[in-house]
Amino acid sequence: MKLKSLITVIVVVFAFSFCAASCSNDDDVSTPTPNNGNDTTGNGNNNTSTTKMKITIGTAVFTATLYDNPSAAAFNTRLPLTIDMTELNGNEKYYDFPSPLPTNASVGGDIKVGDLTLYGNNVLVLFYKNFNTAYSYTNLGYIDNPTGLVTALGSGNVTVKFEKQ
């Protein structure tokens, strides 16, 4: 009888240990990978173009690639642009354009560090964390190598300069 109880306890302990290990909610600390033109949302508007732009945040300079879609092309016509972006949710900076851009939003998908999107038809969003979302965005482009982006953006509002390259 004692052996049966001991075996039951051992099985329960292993079951809880397995669940605790597999159900962990640790933040993703892996090196972020930009979308690099891959259409993870299924909307078909993420073909990478050769259009490059420069993004300056303080002394940090990043190169970004715009997608080949009407929204990104319209955004590109507004460059150069220096804007004050507002912190939101600990994962993004955003700016409200005074006038709309064309959209082709898709619902949900994986957001990557350095993704540049449009929320609605007039909110520019620059993401600095990886996560999955159910919100709808129009993809504009991505930072080619987002190393240092989190540090450059900081934890509050920030001035960002977008320029044609």
Residue 35 maps to a domain: no
Residue 5 maps to a domain: no
Residue 16 maps to a domain: no
* Two tokens, residue 93: 């900076």
- Taking the CA atoms of the chain, what radius of gyration do you get in angstroms? 21
**How does strand 131-143 pair with strand 115-119?**
antiparallel
Q: Which residue has the tokens 């597999």?
A: 22
Residues of the domain holding 85 = 51-164
The predicted structure's pLDDT at residue 50: 82
* Number of domains comprising the chain: 1
Residue 56 maps to a domain: yes
Asked whether 52 and 65 are in contact (CB, 8 A), the reply is yes
Summarize pLDDT for 39-83 with one digit per residue, the tens: 433 334 456 678 999 999 999 999 999 999 999 999 999 999 999
The predicted structure's pLDDT at residue 41: 38
Residue 6 maps to a domain: no
Residue 41 maps to a domain: no
* Run of H or E including 4: helix 2-22
Residue 116 maps to a domain: yes
- Alpha-carbon distance of 94 to 103, in angstroms, equals 16
Summarize pLDDT for 100-146 with one digit per residue, the tens: 999 999 987 999 999 999 999 999 999 999 999 999 999 999 999 99
- Domain at 128, CATH number: 2.40.100.20
Whether the pLDDT of residue 1 is over 80: the answer is no
What is the CB neighbour count within 10 angstroms for residue 41? 21
Residue 76 maps to a domain: yes
